[in-house]
Structure 1
Amino acid sequence: MASSGIALVDKPGGMTSHDVVARARKGLGTRKIGHAGTLDPMATGLLVLGVEGATRLLTFLVGLDKTYEATIRLGVSTDSDDADGVETARADAATLAAVTPEAIASGVAALTGPISQIPSTVSAIKVGGRRAYDLAREGVDVELKARSVTVSRFEVLGSRRGEEGIELDVVIDCSSGTYIRALARDLGAALGIGGHLIALRRTHVGPFDVARAASIDDLADRPLLAPAHVASAVLGRVDVTAEEARDLRHGKRLSGAGARMTGDAAAAVDPAGELVGILERRGADLKSGMNMPTTQGEAR
């Protein structure tokens, strides 16, 4: 049986997140693996996998902020808002030439901060129980609702002008659920020339860095991150005694212990370094809102 823990994988381009999970299941010898946030096939970078009992932690990881490095091509629109789609419009040379760096900077600024974003039609969002991309491929007119997201950084690192349009190399820090393809589309629309994404790499998920990730081929040879390490990094940590750990595992509250936790949730870690569960406040008390299995993997 595989150990319980979190794996950081550097997803290659051309694979779906489901493909990565399937390869991980084979390499680690277990069916019990899930991921904390899809990457498009075109995209590369950090995919966070939960293995065995640590799949219970994925619900706390899905909503973490993300960082992406991307390349946007302005001047060409596609039906998927990325390079995998079919071209739908192209700006002429004169229109492109009229777009100034100042206009681009203004468009980027307007897409920074709390914004309302309509996800790309070719996305994994479910509409009536079916994925939007499946409906779009069948020719169904899909209308997705706008959602509130936060883009805390949208920085242009470099730009190039050529026959194919204006290319921008950017780095983006954003809340979970932000579509980078939609940012490319909306920036192009605001400039009146269209736009789409031609490269995307996820470099961070919360505190986790792609620099620490394994390739899909090397995953089986890399130790998993221990659940206690991961939960503490994301939620903060409360050390509990062996007796308190036993009480928490039996569903009992830690009476009057609420002051030991500063946030809304925290990792309860026993003297052996194992994750007991995720603590929640109940008035002045603490209670485990989610218990973990007792055998865990080791931290790197």
Structure 2
Amino acid sequence: MTSSGPTSGILLIDKPTGLTSHDVVAKTRRAAGTRKVGHAGTLDPMATGLLVLGLNSATRLLTYVVGLDKEYEATIRLGASTTTDDAEGETLETAASGTVERVTPEAIAAGLAAQTGAVLQRPSSVSAIKVDGRRAYARVRQGETVVLDARPVTIASIDLLAERPVLDAAGATVLDLDVRVTCSSGTYIRAIARDLGDTLGVGGHLTALRRTRIGPFGVAQAHAIDTLDPSTALVPPARVAAALFTVADLDAQQSIDLRNGKKIAFDGPARTTFAAIDPAGDLIGLFEVRGGAARVLVNFPADKEPA
């Protein structure tokens, strides 16, 4: 990162397959010359697509990004179930000959529709959820059988984009479904594939997954990690906050007072989170209105000027 550029902000990264999210964070630390890099939700090594990273003081914004709704494009393979509910696991069961061919488009549509709305979803056994202090995936890798409790999620839509019969590695006929999923944070796309396969009686798992959106941030604006230049790719905290919250443009004295921890009079609806922007266009912090005054939720210190 160039010394004259900003040092805090959000980076939108298009993660390639094969890298862990930790790999991407490590590469970003080296490219940006800072240890303070966080992320707003990981992706499996098999998956590609949008990672939202925060640098330095902008990591404080990640708390507000993690819970945003998300959009994915995925390929569900009907005809076999796996230990991980995706193509990286070992095959558990395969459908009997001719079974997949008898699955109707109407049955597929009904199976997907049953998983939309406010539903209870059982996470994949190889998720990062902790069970008695240890990650579920670590227990599975050591040979344990892990069945997690179902959790409430909201799946706004599952759109079927294409379907095509193909032959798997063993020469058996399977059915690949390309889908687009819009869902709440905490939804497991692998679980959608698993549950659809179970509903149809043929088994199912995920063979491809790409995250295309997190809240207002799309993968079309993301950068490749191998050619990342943080000095030009960094999205300023004020622009990020403006995409997430109602903006309050403060004058110079209000900005000084709020930065110094003083209350300022502000006429706005209670329980609304505002992004306070100073006359220079920089993010001061986030605040709520209580009793006609601004109550600071989190401050964002300005980047230090280069020596």
TM-score of the two chains, using structure 1 as the length reference: 0.94
Kept in 1, the 8 Å contact 2:81–2:204? The answer is yes
The match for 1:287 is: 295
40-49 or 276-285, which moves further after superposition? 276-285
88-97 or 25-34, which moves further after superposition? 88-97
Is 1:133 the counterpart of 2:137? The answer is: yes
**Superposed CA offset, 1:22-64 (max 9, x none):** 0110111111001001100000000000001111111011011
Is 1:104 the counterpart of 2:108? The answer is: yes
Partners of 2:291 and 2:271 lie apart in 1 by 13
The match for 1:89 is: 93
Partners of 2:304 and 2:159 lie apart in 1 by 40
Kept in 1, the 8 Å contact 2:270–2:289? The answer is no
The match for 2:181 is: 172
Is 1:212 the counterpart of 2:221? The answer is: yes
Partners of 1:251 and 1:212 lie apart in 2 by 35
Partners of 2:151 and 2:47 lie apart in 1 by 22
Paired residues for 1:1-300 under 5 Å = 3-164=7-168, 165-220=174-229, 222-255=232-265, 257-259=266-268, 264-295=272-303
Partners of 2:110 and 2:291 lie apart in 1 by 48
Calculate the aligned-residue CA RMSD, in Å.
1.7
Partners of 2:292 and 2:15 lie apart in 1 by 44
Partners of 2:254 and 2:121 lie apart in 1 by 45
How far did 1:258 drift?
Answer: 4.2
The secondary structure found in structure 2 opposite 1:93 is coil
Question: Is there any run of 5+ residues in structure 1 with no aligned partner, and where?
Answer: none
Kept in 2, the 8 Å contact 1:226–1:296? The answer is no
Partners of 1:90 and 1:157 lie apart in 2 by 24
Question: Is there any run of 5+ residues in structure 2 with no aligned partner, and where?
Answer: 169-173
Kept in 2, the 8 Å contact 1:248–1:287? The answer is no
**Superposed CA offset, 1:125-164 (max 9, x none):** 1222221111111122323221111111100000011333
159-168 or 111-120, which moves further after superposition? 159-168
Partners of 1:242 and 1:56 lie apart in 2 by 24
How far did 1:246 drift?
Answer: 1.9
How far did 1:266 drift?
Answer: 2.1
29-38 or 245-254, which moves further after superposition? 245-254
Kept in 2, the 8 Å contact 1:277–1:290? The answer is yes
What amino acid maps onto 1:25 in structure 2?
R
Kept in 1, the 8 Å contact 2:68–2:215? The answer is yes
Partners of 1:116 and 1:142 lie apart in 2 by 18
What amino acid maps onto 1:103 in structure 2?
A
